[in-house]
Structure 1
Amino acid sequence: MNPIDDQPYRMLIDGRWQAGGEGALFPTYDPATGDVLAQVHAATARDVDTAVRAARRAYDEHWRDTTPRERARLLRRLAALFEREVEKLAWIETRNVGKPITHSRESLSAMPASLDYFAGIIPAVRGDTIPMLNHASVLNFTLREPLGVCALVMPWNYPMTLTLHKLAPALAAGNTVVIKPSEITPLSTLALAALFAEAGFPDGVVNVVNGSGASVGEALVRHPGVARVSFTGGTATGAAIQAAAAADVKRVTLELGGKSPLIVFDDAALDAAVDVAVGDIVKNSGQVCIACTRLLVQDGIREAFQARLETRLAAIRMGDPSDPQTQMGPLVSRAQAERVRAYLDIARQEGATPRSYPDPASRPETARGFYVPPTLLTTADNGMRTSQEEIFGPVQSLIGFKDEAQALRIANDTRYGLAAVVFTRDGGRALRMARRLESGSVAVNTGVRTSVDAPFGGYKHSGIGKERGLEAILENTQLKNVKYDTSL
């Protein structure tokens, strides 16, 4: 299936598809081959200004006053259209991101239910009545109101899924949006944008501008007409966005990096723990913020765990993402593949031993493209750069520990705090670890499974604010207090 358009991809501004103001194009690539996949029109600062003004006009003229029932109806209509187009959208994501088609289908098939969820919880966005302690005649209550124009700055690893998880709560709360997809993987977001008019969303409610973070992203973040910025990506970029947004005191939600630990005690269900380790290194080629990239394994079972893990990794089928039998595809770009390989050199210099499975050079279908095999860093310790810095690829460090206290110290010894996984049959220990781990999400005896109905966000340098769940809609609102003296 070839779902890629031959013509350059345009931007959606105020309900119209248009080229950038200067006519500039940039390429996006097929990670499996390294070939140019499509050309995309690049926005200028003036285009960003036009998009923000269109979003604000749509907000002021009608969207902020749209009833909750109408917003819910439109989100459900979008869910139905998404379900109709899910196969095409999955193929676009596979071609542009490089993830196996089975993975794209699995992740995107859940999106209609996510849209339905946010449509369904809109009535839960409401204020409270607060008793006045000293004034019986004063009615004291709060209102939840939308913010205005929200800028959604997207990453390249899950462009469609993460766009919808930002977009749906913003629209549900009554905001309008301007989306900037990653310049590396913009195609699925642009295909999604084509559904909004058919769903019945008014012009200007959803806008999409293409281009780099350094130009288009910065212009969007700094625009005075933007009330809120939601960003998913690297911690350094997130910090820069927070600083830029501070000039106008914008609301900011940041979902940033991770260096999540998988903590395996000697009483664990070993095969289940290995399943999680394999899944986290193979899924999307390890380009997942919540992936457990530090494997903390109790000393008594470390050798057995490593042996089982190596057996599983050696059997991974890495290859063409369009082949349904493929379990792991390439990395998203040449730059990302080079970054990961550079970290493997750093690991050797630090005294770790990289062990890769399988060798991509032995397979004809991986001779081209941006392939890096799953790699386990043995003889690692938590002080190494490869244990502390987010590599964002199929690399895991294997680190031993003696007891619960040491496991907790190692797990928390990182600037990140996005997720953590604990495997133990001791219920008391599981709860102690869950309470003391400095992570926004903790899973016990299972992998970290994000879900639309549960809040998601990190501690420390892993971010600010929450996405998903009711908290995601509340992040898109402001709270107003009203006091009304009924005696007058």
Structure 2
Amino acid sequence: MIEVKSIIDGEEVKSDQYYYRECPYDTEKTVTKAHVANVEDLKRAIDTARDVFDNNRYNWVSDYKQRDRILFKISEKIREESQTFIELLVNEIGMPLRQARAHVNAAADIFEYYAGFGAKLYGNMKFLPNGDLIQLVKEPVGVVGAITPWNFPLTQSARKIAPALAVGCVVVWKPASYASAISYHLAKVIMGSGIPKGVVNVVFGPGEKIGSELVKDSKVDKISFTGETTTGKGIMQEASKNIKRVSLELGGKNPFILFKDANINQAIKGLMYGMFRNAGQACGATTRLIVEESIASEVEKAVVNAVKKLKIGNPNLEDTDVGPVVSKSQENKVLSYIDIGIKEGYKLLIGGKKVTSTELEKGYFIEPTVFSNVDNKSKIAQEEIFGPVLVIMYFRSEDDAVSIANDVIYGLTASIWTNDYRKALRISRMIKAGSIWINDAYTQPSEGLWGGYKQSGIGRELGLQGIEDFVEVKMLYTNVNDAYTHFKQVYKE
């Protein structure tokens, strides 16, 4: 069992209150004991961050070379500590071994990608027709409140912390309680990189208390949040009271559009990856299969055969494809949606139950589940289930496919499968989503971007766009020729 403590101004902080985290694949095992911070701890973390930024302690804001060296070091240390991170991901959130390994590498890649940006963040300048000069200067936004989720705890945290540090911001980080040990170990790696005290402060505690106060505090310049859409709406509403900057990476109900001219075999492999990685607990999961009607029967059989080959089991095993969902409450939520699908009369092709086999009965395992001939207006087609549940719908024309794909409140990702590249481009132009994969699914390179249209959020992470969310742009206007002719519009000598 790992004991987790908040880290404020470089020092670990204990508490008289704790919360315990059970292992999701063996609930008789406790994996984490986390000290619960109070509001006073949070205030101290915010004050520390404010002081570091406002007074440029350790030359943090001005010395981009220092920041670049530290980001490189964090990346190296994540790779050095990869085995520990993998074990924590498996035991604390139930991520299968192969997926955990890739997840750790992806987090290291993000820190590595943003290392070096501090030295390469340029503004712009331009001489005006009257000879005067304008300069556009990019500056760090200030104190960033980062609120991160449990489903992909390393990469989601890296996407916020790495670009924020690259440009000279300081961070107060509130990780998800389900992933406290994973987040704590990442925090320890960051602290061991040579980063100055108080640049990153980590506060563990419930979202309704610690997260809420972090959003409300006027000393925090920006909130970067990843999580559920309803929570994101609340954050946006609260932040509006003092016009706090926000970026929100929220939910998705993402289409996987499959045309009859696609490579069906490869498409089904992509669907299994896009839908069932991390037991479907992914905002970008391709949870709606929209298939051309003429190949519906063929595709449904192929989907069922592919699901049958998925191994549900202990995430410590190399051949496990689908692990448990993260908690009892998540298990109940997913099973309730499956029950809705059954009661509404949609055809259950496979799955639909909690796994009760002897070796898995102590965990939160749910069978990968597929419903077919689903009405896109139904709850299971419209709402984010965040579990291993796929719904299948049919289309006859390109316009029909686009209409179904866009007919949700979300717009995070989409996957388009066809061997006609012109068709793929036509469809991608019409789909309202932030990331669109053509003959691929759920790839997230550091060089790309992540974020969504509509109620999937505001702002973008990863790539060059990920930097822009943590800077302010300031104009400097220099009168070069002493003409001052524009003054005469108001003042005449």
Q: Cα distance, 1:451 vs. partner?
A: 1.2
Q: Cα distance, 1:410 vs. partner?
A: 0.5
| Structure 1 unaligned residues grouped into runs of 5+ | none
Alignment partner, residue 92 of structure 1:
88
Q: Cα distance, 1:360 vs. partner?
A: 5.8
* Secondary structure of 1:381's aligned partner: coil
Preserved CA contact (<8 Å) 1:31 1:96: yes
Render the CA deviation track for 1:52-102: whole Å, top value 9, x for unaligned. 011111212325533221110111111111111111011111111101122
Instruction: List structure 1 runs of 4+ shifted beyond 6 angstroms.
Output: none
Q: Cα distance, 1:366 vs. partner?
A: 1.3
* Secondary structure of 2:122's aligned partner: coil
Preserved CA contact (<8 Å) 1:281 1:393: no
From 1, 6, 9, the equivalent of 1:11 is: 6
Render the CA deviation track for 1:310-364: whole Å, top value 9, x for unaligned. 0111121111111112111100000001000000111122221334349764632
TM-score normalised over the length of structure 1: 0.95
Asked if 1:127 corresponds to 2:123, the answer is: yes
Alignment partner, residue 97 of structure 2:
101
Alignment partner, residue 81 of structure 1:
77
Alignment partner, residue 71 of structure 1:
67
Alignment partner, residue 403 of structure 1:
397
Measured in 2, the distance between the counterparts of 1:50 and 1:340 equals 39
Instruction: Report matched runs for 1:307-326 at 5 Å.
Output: 307-326=301-320
From 318, 333, 337, the equivalent of 2:331 is: 337
Measured in 1, the distance between the counterparts of 2:470 and 2:125 equals 21
Alignment partner, residue 446 of structure 2:
452
Measured in 1, the distance between the counterparts of 2:229 and 2:352 equals 31
Preserved CA contact (<8 Å) 2:355 2:367: no
Measured in 2, the distance between the counterparts of 1:308 and 1:48 equals 52
Q: Cα distance, 1:427 vs. partner?
A: 2.0
Instruction: Report matched runs for 1:24-423 at 5 Å.
Output: 24-35=17-28, 36-61=30-55, 62=57, 63-133=59-129, 135-136=130-131, 138-357=132-351, 361=355, 363-423=357-417
* Secondary structure of 2:137's aligned partner: strand
Measured in 2, the distance between the counterparts of 1:461 and 1:130 equals 37
Q: Percent identity?
A: 32
| Structure 2 unaligned residues grouped into runs of 5+ | 483-493
Preserved CA contact (<8 Å) 2:304 2:350: no
Preserved CA contact (<8 Å) 1:234 1:256: yes
Measured in 2, the distance between the counterparts of 1:167 and 1:148 equals 13
Query: Are residues 64 and 479 of structure 1, via their aligned partners in 2, closer, same or farther at CA, if it must alter by over 3 Å?
Result: farther
Render the CA deviation track for 1:213-246: whole Å, top value 9, x for unaligned. 1111001111111000000111000000111111
Preserved CA contact (<8 Å) 1:233 1:255: yes
Measured in 2, the distance between the counterparts of 1:334 and 1:361 equals 13
Letter in 1 for 2:376: N
Letter in 1 for 2:125: T
Q: Cα distance, 1:166 vs. partner?
A: 0.9
Measured in 1, the distance between the counterparts of 2:4 and 2:170 equals 22
* Secondary structure of 1:253's aligned partner: strand
Q: Cα distance, 1:177 vs. partner?
A: 0.2
Aligned Cα root-mean-square deviation (Å): 1.4
Q: Cα distance, 1:149 vs. partner?
A: 0.6
Asked if 1:463 corresponds to 2:457, the answer is: yes
Q: Cα distance, 1:471 vs. partner?
A: 1.0
* Secondary structure of 2:268's aligned partner: helix
Alignment partner, residue 487 of structure 2:
none
Q: Which moved more, 1:165-174 or 1:74-83?
A: 74-83
* Secondary structure of 1:110's aligned partner: helix
TM-score normalised over the length of structure 2: 0.95
* Secondary structure of 1:83's aligned partner: helix
Render the CA deviation track for 1:99-146: whole Å, top value 9, x for unaligned. 11221111112332221210133333221002213x21x221111001
Alignment partner, residue 485 of structure 2:
none
Preserved CA contact (<8 Å) 2:61 2:169: no
Measured in 1, the distance between the counterparts of 2:136 and 2:472 equals 10
Measured in 2, the distance between the counterparts of 1:244 and 1:190 equals 27
Measured in 1, the distance between the counterparts of 2:331 and 2:116 equals 41
* Secondary structure of 2:393's aligned partner: strand
Measured in 2, the distance between the counterparts of 1:483 and 1:361 equals 66
Preserved CA contact (<8 Å) 1:314 1:358: no
Asked if 1:437 corresponds to 2:413, the answer is: no
Preserved CA contact (<8 Å) 1:151 1:179: yes
Render the CA deviation track for 1:381-400: whole Å, top value 9, x for unaligned. 10111000000100010101
Preserved CA contact (<8 Å) 1:153 1:182: yes
Measured in 1, the distance between the counterparts of 2:4 and 2:192 equals 19
Measured in 1, the distance between the counterparts of 2:282 and 2:348 equals 20
